Amino acid sequence: MDKVLIRQLAIETVIGIYEWEKKLNQTLLIDLDMAWDNRLAAASDAYEHALCYETVSNRLTALITEKPIELIETVAEMIAQCLQEEFNVPWVNVVVMKPGAVPNAASVGVEIERGYR
């Protein structure tokens, strides 16, 4: 299976369940593995056949920053749904990390897999 990868996409947004969190931006780090048949893009060297990681990154940033969200679980589901519905990605693995959320941990996060390989 071919994949398009995005690593450590940093999104500044309002995220959290505590009142103090709802008053400031925090950074989420997103890792994506997206199933995509790269053969046509590679053979034609044509952008229109590729899954554009810049377009995906911009769309996800807009999605996650449009309104406050409480849970990173919600963020992961929103990302997976967007990729499958808007970009026709048949399978995706999404990791959402929230650095600094727990004092004694560098980061905490969730990982989900949606779709079929």
The pair of three-digit structure tokens given for residue 55, joined into one six-digit string: 């377009």
CA atoms within 13 A on the CB side of 84: 16
3-class DSSP state of 110: strand
**Number of Cβ atoms within 10 Å of the Cβ of 23:** 10
**98 an active-site residue?**
yes
The pair of three-digit structure tokens given for residue 5, joined into one six-digit string: 């990868």
Contact at 8 Å (CB) between 91 and 113? yes
**Which member of 22, 23, 67, 98 is catalytic?**
98
Catalytic positions: 98
